[in-house]
Structure 1
């Protein structure tokens, strides 16, 4: 059997495997069961990784200015604590339990509760009885897993006092509060009376269209060291590609951003000073506490038994803080307190991705639609990178034109690599070609593309945002795979138009890339695939323009070679009779 045939079969096997995985995921795996399993896993994880409200692990013994002791796995599942007060508005619903904690926050806006889009395979699966998943809208979206460390949870250094606190319920001044959209905050007072200590938590809630904004004033009847938690991260969107964990800024407003991701937290804890805010986040949502005091806060992040980070603020007296629970909407966080925009995290490339998002948001305000804004962003980026792309394509074209001469040199000096390399360099120099000229511009574009990828993948603003008829949510996959197919087709056309110097085997692999990328991106958010598709279409148009420029240059060169010189014309001119 020929080597090429073997390679072809291996590549075919890879493609068939991709197709099998995609079909299996839609026909065999029930999406509703998968979601249920994820929710159960989140609950189990919170039970494994955090202290239950009524377990012995709820009585940590920690020294002043040290983190609370990391818990071990809870030996049993603690029952949910009774709810003593509810705060309700048109957009959120908040439950306060009898330990004075924010037990749950529900988001009620339709962009968070909209049903999942059903695609081609879902409909086909239902038709054959292979998939019974129903896509029904939620009434409200819960953000927290049960039996986890919750916002406003207090732990004391004194073990006896901590035991009293976990067994003494709070009393609420109101069992039900309604927030109206009139700018008037509503106050809730929570009081815990113990034999030698009285704790008063005074909360003010503010109406907001997206999340929960509040202030918290904690008054102790006598000073004592304690830790206040902003709560473990929400679990409303547990996507594995996004950042999950704690984000804070240390050493003041001009300090450094610190990130402790799930499974990376240290059991002994990490200490941070001059902290303006501390936040725990999933892909789209966050819970945080912050201060406007320039001195900041002393914070600790402790790893539980699974090394998931638990955030605490270390205190020893009365304190007044501000808090927020809800989506990581950039402009909303900016309106609350500008440093909070650092909660919107894009990874190592955040410094570059954030301006990209601001440009995308400006385009959205101009066009009124996130889909068209993505198209506008793609065109602007391509125009900015046009000089680099042009140089890269022209360099590749020169190399392609030199391919016959390069093969001659390779054949002539195949036994002498040094001479072959020397003659190759002379050939490149003579014709102004650079073997790295086509690669360098592409390498410089990678940070740009990666920044856009991170922005589109993490922007909660794209959630439930419609573009055209069949795309009702740019943050989830195209339900009918139209965009991925267009992306693959445009990628194939772009490859066909782009000059290359590949050998036959490499060319075969190159031709399979559109198929592989289509299968790989088929479940990615539609906004990402839209960007890639428009980017390919723009590249096709640019390549056609460059091809015309190259054709004109060649025509000029051919005409120049065919046109006789002036001296030659005079020599060949027939003599006239005198």
Structure 2
């Protein structure tokens, strides 16, 4: 077994276990074990299990995004400090200060990509399972030879095998037009859902201050660049993997919609829209009362200076109360000190 196979072995075992478990459940309730719909629903079950397991990572991603928003002004100060300086020492100093800021605040610029990076090995594991099942080969786990044959022969919409890709259909003799059409539609849907999910984050859940930073401009470029990467790479993926990806993107899209609507980042367009909704319902004042904490600033106590006998008498005649001497203050022996009374 090669290195990649060794790394993917536990993931393939877990993927097979989940697929077989859902296939058993759907077969037990009366669905045809060999039908493509049964295996498609099993892939949906795989998505639900994986994405539910990734919820802690998603929460961590949201917290990281909020911290990145908080450090954006400090990051901009560092960038302005070295603006126009292109020498090696300035670049190294800027990089060092930036990394120190990330370390100090506990932020990670790659934190927003963490759920996607974690899912990539699962994509490849499912890809490997589909490829092996297409040849009727038993898997490394619960997917025995009989189930592997059923999985390998399963078709999406009863006309496009799950193990086929657009590239395979195009190279077939004659070309499988139906598979090519289904694969093309899947690629477009998969890419569009990925693009829309990122667009709703960058358009509504990012503050104006963050939008002015160079980092946001780089992310904006990636927003339009990545769909082309997925568009061309998607033609080589089997339909089963693309279906997994599409359902996963739909999960992400709905999840982000709920988060942006109910827990937007402060200072963003989504936060303003939420405040407007609460104001129309009359809940904004109550929400502010519940969440606003008034902190009273303590004023420093003014030190009372002792006054002499003559000055105290003069202030009394003018209607002003003389300052009370501090009984704890010891006499320093100077004239006019009330504590020196009788010591002359």
Could you say which TM-score interval applies, normalised by the shorter chain?
A: 0.5 to 0.7
Q: Secondary structure at the match of 1:522?
A: helix
- 2:122 aligned residue: 448
Cα distance in 2 for partners of 1:503, 1:553 equals: 17
Q: Deviations over 1:219-260 (max 9, x none)?
A: xxxxxxxxxxxxxxxxxxxxxxxxxxxxxxxxxxxxxx699x
Q: Which has the higher helix share?
A: 2
Whether contact under 8 Å (2:199, 2:223) holds in the other structure is: no
User: Within 5 A, what are the aligned runs for 1:238-249?
Assistant: none
Larger Rg over CA atoms: 2
- 1:396 aligned residue: 65
Whether contact under 8 Å (2:127, 2:238) holds in the other structure is: no
Going from structure 1 to structure 2, the CA distance change for 1:495 and 1:400 (only over 3 Å counts) comes to same
Going from structure 1 to structure 2, the CA distance change for 1:516 and 1:371 (only over 3 Å counts) comes to same
The structure 2 residue matched to 1:405, chosen from 64, 67, 74, is 74
Cα distance in 1 for partners of 2:266, 2:159 equals: 44
- 1:479 aligned residue: 180
Going from structure 1 to structure 2, the CA distance change for 1:476 and 1:358 (only over 3 Å counts) comes to same
RMSD: 3.8
- 1:526 aligned residue: 239
Cα distance in 2 for partners of 1:535, 1:566 equals: 45
1:549 positional shift: 4.9
Whether contact under 8 Å (2:22, 2:45) holds in the other structure is: yes
Cα distance in 1 for partners of 2:10, 2:257 equals: 35
- 2:294 aligned residue: 565
1:406 positional shift: 1.4
- 2:140 aligned residue: none
TM-score by length of 1: 0.34
Q: Which structure has more RCO (C-alpha within 8 Å, separation ≥ 6)?
A: 2
Q: Secondary structure at the match of 1:388?
A: helix
Going from structure 1 to structure 2, the CA distance change for 1:445 and 1:559 (only over 3 Å counts) comes to same
Cα distance in 1 for partners of 2:63, 2:231 equals: 28
Cα distance in 1 for partners of 2:81, 2:200 equals: 31
- 2:264 aligned residue: 551
Q: Secondary structure at the match of 2:40?
A: helix
Cα distance in 1 for partners of 2:232, 2:110 equals: 30
* The 10-residue stretch of structure 1 (515-524 or 526-535) with the greater mean CA deviation from structure 2: 515-524
Kindly tell me the number of residue pairs found equivalent between the two proteins. Answer: 225
The structure 2 residue matched to 1:433, chosen from 68, 86, 107, is 107
Whether contact under 8 Å (1:389, 1:442) holds in the other structure is: no
1:437 positional shift: 3.2
Cα distance in 2 for partners of 1:441, 1:483 equals: 22
Whether contact under 8 Å (2:11, 2:125) holds in the other structure is: yes
Q: Which has the higher strand share?
A: 1
Cα distance in 2 for partners of 1:566, 1:504 equals: 38
The structure 2 residue matched to 1:465, chosen from 154, 163, 188, is 154
Q: Which runs of 5+ in 2 are unaligned?
A: 28-37, 135-149, 166-178, 207-213, 276-286, 298-344
Going from structure 1 to structure 2, the CA distance change for 1:389 and 1:448 (only over 3 Å counts) comes to farther
- 2:44 aligned residue: 375
Q: Which runs of 5+ in 1 are unaligned?
A: 1-256, 260-344, 569-578
